[in-house]
Amino acid sequence: MLAGIDYFIVIAYIIGMLLLGLYFKKFVSSSEDYFLGGKSLPFWAIGMSIVVSDIGALDFVGVSGQAYRYGISVGNFDWVGSVPAMLLAAFIFIPYFWRGGMYTIPEYLGRRYNQKVRTIASVTWILFFALDLGVLFWASAVLLNVLMGWPIWISIVATAGVVGLYTYFGGITAVIMTDVVQFIIMFIGGFALVFLSLYEVGGWDNMVDKIATMGPEYRNHFDIIQPQDTKSPFPWTGILFGLTFVMANAYMIGNQSIVQRCLTAKNEWHAKASMIFGSALKMFIPILVLFPGLMAVVVHPGLADGDQALPMMIKSIMPPGLVGLMFAAFFAGLMSSVDSLLNSTATLFTKDIYEPFIKKGADDKHYLKVGQITTLVLLLIGVATSPISSDFPGIYVAIQTFMSYFQGPLFAILLLGIFWKRTTEWGGLSALVIGIGFAIYLNVFKEQFFTIEDPFLYISWWSFLLGFIINVVVSLLTKKHTEEQLKGLVFSSKILVENKKL
């Protein structure tokens, strides 16, 4: 439980976030303001927002737990699993989306392939985001219940009320600017924990020496590159093919909640810079989430559940005041994930489903209202579905794992769509459907195909490869698009050299 000063910090944080978020209500007068922040935001705010949205409280606990079990190789996800993909996004994909005035990634897929591809991609994201919302609300409620002693339902309504209010009124500008504060709080809380943990274990070198003497299972704990035959989920082959080549790119280029932030930039330079700045900040994330897990190996050896590593470290080494700050950092991670999901899902629904299928050609105020009402409806769905998490504790992992299977085929059609003129609508559609089906098949029969513990990296690679091949073959067999249809949608070196407008 928290001490008095911790309560004060947490409550001040929650009220501060609400007031800050509501302040941005005055900047919203059109759907572009609501979904793209009026294309007025600076790179530093967007970069911080990308990073803080990507790392939630559940990741704090989960990554520390994996670091406790598998060592420093978990850091690959934020290092090689982010930086190259963010540079590719910054210099190739984001300028296309930004210049094209797009709101969503499925919107690009719709223009490049057809409406079916756009709808499949959009509906898939909407379903996953909506399910994730319930899980995140439940996680927030459990945190508030354990540390503040608030009943679960009051905790859920409090979280939904605070995040929902500022997202409803302030749109993505409120989401990004509250993310900036949440980023700062997360970094202060995280680094405080790292420094205190380092002091506790007697410094980095001392920790490395101690872990080295703890037995053969810790032999590779400080090897970032794991051998191909490791039993951990992170062999270097999976990190290179599955993570670096597929999942990282799919996430940074194909994830609506990431890309939408870059589209709010005030100009093309800020859009590119936001990704590169974000990639620099991303390199600090393993220090915050991975190091405490490593240090817990020394401070709390022999934990049966690695996910207990971080809570145990907080409980055993953080003084009053800093516990409250750490809790605020956790809550910041959760809030930033929830507000991102709310705004991105509202954008996907309004632009990809409502506008083309339900009411075309309405005035802008109408779509602004639809976006706000969708936010409200999603909030209610999230609150109503949150108890599912208590009945099915593995649901968060299940959702994340299934989402990862969608990433390979999605990246295959994005990559070919932007780099190969010959790709056709039927190529894209068949690659998406067959690729997702293949990923599900490999997952169902994973024991027959794979030797490592959790082969999600391999599955994403093979489903990407099949999606890529299917796209090429079917495209060559079907009628190609005309030059007019492809205008501004396919990469051309002229865009780099002559800076042609799309």
Partner 1 sequence: MFNFDWLSGVSQETAKMIFLSLYALIGILVLILPTEYVYQGIAKEDRHWWNNLKLWSIAVLCILASIYNHF
> Is residue 268 a contact residue for partner 1 (CB under 8 A)?
yes
> Is residue 273 a contact residue for partner 1 (CB under 8 A)?
yes
> Is residue 50 a contact residue for partner 1 (CB under 8 A)?
no
The nearest distance, CB 491 to partner 1, in angstroms, is: 13
Which parts of 156-195 interact with partner 1 (CB under 8 A)? none
Q: Which of 166, 241, 251, 426 binds partner 1 (CB under 8 A)?
A: 241
The nearest distance, CB 496 to partner 1, in angstroms, is: 5
Interatomic CA distance for residues 207 and 432, integer angstroms:
47
Calculate the CA 36 to chain-centre distance.
18
Q: Which of 184, 240, 303, 486 binds partner 1 (CB under 8 A)?
A: 240
The nearest distance, CB 17 to partner 1, in angstroms, is: 30
> Is residue 45 a contact residue for partner 1 (CB under 8 A)?
no
Q: Which of 452, 466, 470, 490 binds partner 1 (CB under 8 A)?
A: 452
> Is residue 225 a contact residue for partner 1 (CB under 8 A)?
yes
Question: Where in 136-290 does DSSP place strands (E)?
Answer: none
32 C-beta neighbours (distance < 10 Å), count: 19
Which residues touch 345 (CB under 8 Å, ≥6 apart)?
125, 126, 129, 130, 133, 374, 378
The nearest distance, CB 222 to partner 1, in angstroms, is: 6
Which among 103-111, 165-173, 272-280, 380-388 is the span making contact with partner 1, rule CB under 8 A? 272-280
Alpha helices in 24-114 (DSSP H): 31-36, 43-54, 57-70, 83-88, 94-99, 105-112
- Give 127 or 276: the residue with its C-beta nearer to partner 1: 276
Which residues touch 486 (CB under 8 Å, ≥6 apart)?
112, 421
Interatomic CA distance for residues 230 and 404, integer angstroms:
21
Q: How many residues does the chain have?
A: 502
Interatomic CA distance for residues 305 and 344, integer angstroms:
34
> Is residue 390 a contact residue for partner 1 (CB under 8 A)?
no
One-letter amino acid for residue 203 of the chain: G
Beta bridge partners of 265: 41
Alpha helices in 290-394 (DSSP H): 291-299, 309-317, 322-348, 364-385, 388-391
Interatomic CA distance for residues 354 and 120, integer angstroms:
14
Asked whether the beta carbons of 176 and 46 are under 8 A apart, the reply is: yes
Q: Which of 29, 267, 316, 390 binds partner 1 (CB under 8 A)?
A: 267
> Is residue 272 a contact residue for partner 1 (CB under 8 A)?
yes
Q: Which of 91, 195, 199, 419 binds partner 1 (CB under 8 A)?
A: 91
- Give 49 or 178: the residue with its C-beta nearer to partner 1: 49
Q: Which of 72, 175, 247, 259 binds partner 1 (CB under 8 A)?
A: 72
Asked whether the beta carbons of 231 and 396 are under 8 A apart, the reply is: no
> Is residue 453 a contact residue for partner 1 (CB under 8 A)?
no
The nearest distance, CB 244 to partner 1, in angstroms, is: 7
What DSSP line would sit under 196-235, residue for residue? HHHHHHTSHHHHHHHHHTS-GGGTTTT-SSB-TT-SSS-B
> Is residue 451 a contact residue for partner 1 (CB under 8 A)?
yes
> Is residue 441 a contact residue for partner 1 (CB under 8 A)?
no
Interatomic CA distance for residues 402 and 477, integer angstroms:
31
Please count the helices (runs of H) and the strands (runs of E) in the chain: 26, 0
- Give 128 or 218: the residue with its C-beta nearer to partner 1: 218
- Give 272 or 351: the residue with its C-beta nearer to partner 1: 272
Interatomic CA distance for residues 407 and 413, integer angstroms:
10
Q: Which of 148, 158, 224, 377 binds partner 1 (CB under 8 A)?
A: 224
Interatomic CA distance for residues 213 and 216, integer angstroms:
8
> Is residue 146 a contact residue for partner 1 (CB under 8 A)?
no
Asked whether the beta carbons of 267 and 85 are under 8 A apart, the reply is: no
> Is residue 496 a contact residue for partner 1 (CB under 8 A)?
yes
The nearest distance, CB 225 to partner 1, in angstroms, is: 5
The nearest distance, CB 43 to partner 1, in angstroms, is: 10
DSSP 8-state code for residue 479:
P
Which among 263-271, 292-300, 334-342, 480-488 is the span making contact with partner 1, rule CB under 8 A? 263-271
- Give 115 or 237: the residue with its C-beta nearer to partner 1: 237
Catalog residues that contact partner 1 under the rule CB under 8 A. Answer: 72, 75, 79-80, 83-84, 87, 90-91, 95, 222-229, 235-238, 240-241, 244, 267-273, 276-277, 279-280, 283, 442, 449-452, 455, 458, 462, 496-497, 499
